[in-house]
Amino acid sequence: MFRKNDQHRQGYLFSSVSDLPQKQRERLEGSWAGTFYEEFFCRIDEDVFAVLFSGKDSRPNVPVNVLVGLEVLKSGFGWSDAELEEQLAYSLLTRYALGYRDLSEGHFELRTVYNFRRRLAQHMQETGVNLLEVAFEGITDKQISVLKLKTGKLRMDSVQIASNIRQMSRLQLLVEVLQRVWRMLSWADQQREAEHFAAYIQGSSGQFVYHLVAGEGQSHLSAIGELMQRLLRELAPTYGQEAPYAVLARVYDEHFVEVEQVVQPKAGEALSAQSLQSPDDLEATYRQKRGVGYQGYVTNVTETCDPDNELQLIVKVQSAPNHTDDAAMLAEAVPNLVSRTDVEEIHSDGGFNGPEVDKVLNQAGIEQFQTAIRGTKAEGERLRVSDFIFTRDEAGIPETVRCPQGQEVPVQDARKQGRFMASFDPSICKDCPLFAQCPTQKRQSTGERVLYFGQQEVNVAHRRDNQRQTTASRPNLRSAVEATVRSLKHPFPNAKLPVRGLVRVSMMMGASAAMTNVRRIWHYQTAKMVGQTTSETTKYPSSQTVSSLFCAVFRPFFHQATTSLRYPAMAA
């Protein structure tokens, strides 16, 4: 039965915290744990998680805000579950952050945490809603409101995240799948198939590959393909609903092709990036970035970046299989960002552009500023439509166009829907030094120079104009997001999470972002407190400070007088 936890708001007459000396108690309250409790724990909306619990009268749940707080602390510090249990049992900092003030309260079995994660994962799989993400965004919105942060300017970047899977070669992956099919079979079926599986079940899949002689791999690929084809046909009636059978079917379709009823392995370059990377993680994909291959997921981070803000906070975290394009994640994030922030500008790198992004941003009235732009370079010195400057209305429709030499003319609709044209004065164009490179065409009836273009070319031109502004005069607001990305993956060595599957990866990266925000608020509050203390000390100096100042001013005179009394000749 769901019940909210308000007990932590009640005062304690006697507790482990109150027994501390005053200096240690003040240090505890001013630590990260105090900030976590005030700025995160107390802002958790427990009602969001009520759907995970029974509505019948039954035993009350372990406090949801404690379970959520544990997930955030685990990800933020990179703890294992054993370390998490130890911290909850014995660390006063951890317990203070979770609203506990006495070491004798709040103890429960680690199995409770596992059950909570299972319910979160099941709810996300059934509904597509990540409740931890909902809670994170609600807390962040409250933090932004209290801290009075401006959200008109946002920046984003993505990072590759690996799940807890082994790096497998193609052959090892196929052998691993066969071994799991073998373990699925009944004893009688194993006896019948023992001869066909004999070569692949003597040891682990890694041992099988290790003992291969150079050049044998291709022959084994063909033999495995034929075996898989037969197994899919013969095992379907009995094992068609089993998970290993589904993996077998997927792997066969991804790695083999039938040519004239003969099974042949696909070429390596023909394998899709979405092909199975591990039978332990069915959603992990493959992506090559800057010549480096990655297996797993991608996380996209969006944070505030207004220069007037005294600190910046992460406002949204997205995770997806790593073959997902950056532009798709930006387009997906915009509706949520518009509903929660005052976003007017988004700053990103060159991977976040595309036709769908332009459409979404135009509809939302958001300007995009990129440090680079993805796309092909122009051949030779010929001008492109993107070299022209367009003015647009609120919907992004072009109104005027100005050529690189400054001639500005109105835009008209062309005959085809979605196409536009602009007529330039030929008397001006003929003396233009860029005439030979100009993409305009001469209209035979009037002699005008006409430029034809579509909406997407206008969007590209506008994006390039923004990019020129970014590199020329505007400050680079995007660059600092690299540090944010590092802070999210820092608790996980080599950016490899100790979990598998999109659901758990999404939860851990969102929790890491929540802890990053807490640390930023803590550093901001600490620096602000130090600044206030310094200011108050200067305005109202303590007796110790006065004494120090007195000594600093008059010490030379005392030194000179003492020297003259002790050593008259030296003083003279």
Task: Name the nearest CA neighbour of 468 among 555, 386, 402, 556.
Answer: 386
Q: What is the distance between the alpha carbons of residues 171 and 211, in angstroms, rounded to a whole number?
A: 12
Task: Name the nearest CA neighbour of 66 among 31, 15, 30, 108.
Answer: 108
Please report the pLDDT score of residue 476 as a whole number: 83
| No. of helices (H) and no. of strands (E), the chain | 20, 15
Task: Give the HSE-up count for residue 516: Cα atoms under 13 Å, Cβ half-sphere.
Answer: 27
Q: What is the distance between the alpha carbons of residues 364 and 310, in angstroms, rounded to a whole number?
A: 27
Q: Residue ranges of the chain with pLDDT lower than 70? A: 374-380, 470-474, 533-572
- Helix (H) or strand (E) segment spanning residue 392: strand 389-392
How is residue 379 annotated by DSSP? Answer: S
Is residue 297 within 8 A of residue 322, CB to CB? The reply is yes
Q: What is the distance between the alpha carbons of residues 439 and 382, in angstroms, rounded to a whole number?
A: 7
pLDDT tens sequence across 4-16: 888 888 777 788 8
The two structure tokens encoding residue 104? 């004798």
Query: What DSSP line would sit under 40-87, residue for residue?
Result: TGGG--GGGGGGGS--SS-SPPPPHHHHHHHHHHHHHHT--HHHHHHH
Please report the pLDDT score of residue 313 as a whole number: 97
Residues in the chain: 572
Write down all domains in the chain, each with its CATH number in brackets: 1-129 (no CATH), 132-165+288-369+489-540 (3.30.420), 170-270 (no CATH), 385-472 (no CATH), 543-572 (no CATH)
Is residue 231 within 8 A of residue 239, CB to CB? The reply is no
Please report the pLDDT score of residue 378 as a whole number: 54
CA 8 and chain centroid, separation = 32
Please report the pLDDT score of residue 395 as a whole number: 77
CA 249 and chain centroid, separation = 32
Q: Are strands 398-402 and 419-424 parallel, antiparallel or unpaired?
A: unpaired
Q: Residues 6 or more apart from 331 whose CB is under 8 A from it? A: 354, 356, 357, 360
Count the neighbouring beta carbons within 10 Å of the beta carbon of residue 237.
7
What sign has the CA pseudo-torsion 55, 57, 61, 64? positive
Q: What is the distance between the alpha carbons of residues 278 and 274, in angstroms, rounded to a whole number?
A: 11
Please report the pLDDT score of residue 195 as a whole number: 93
Q: What is the distance between the alpha carbons of residues 362 and 143, in angstroms, rounded to a whole number?
A: 29
Q: What is the distance between the alpha carbons of residues 567 and 46, in angstroms, rounded to a whole number?
A: 78
Is residue 402 within 8 A of residue 465, CB to CB? The reply is no
Q: Residues 6 or more apart from 271 whose CB is under 8 A from it? A: 170, 254, 255
Is residue 87 within 8 A of residue 73, CB to CB? The reply is yes
Q: Which string of b and e fits 61-87 if b means at least 16 CB within 10 Å?
A: bbbbbbbbbbbbbbbbebbeeeebbeb
The two structure tokens encoding residue 1? 């039965």
pLDDT tens sequence across 413-439: 888 888 999 999 888 888 888 888 888
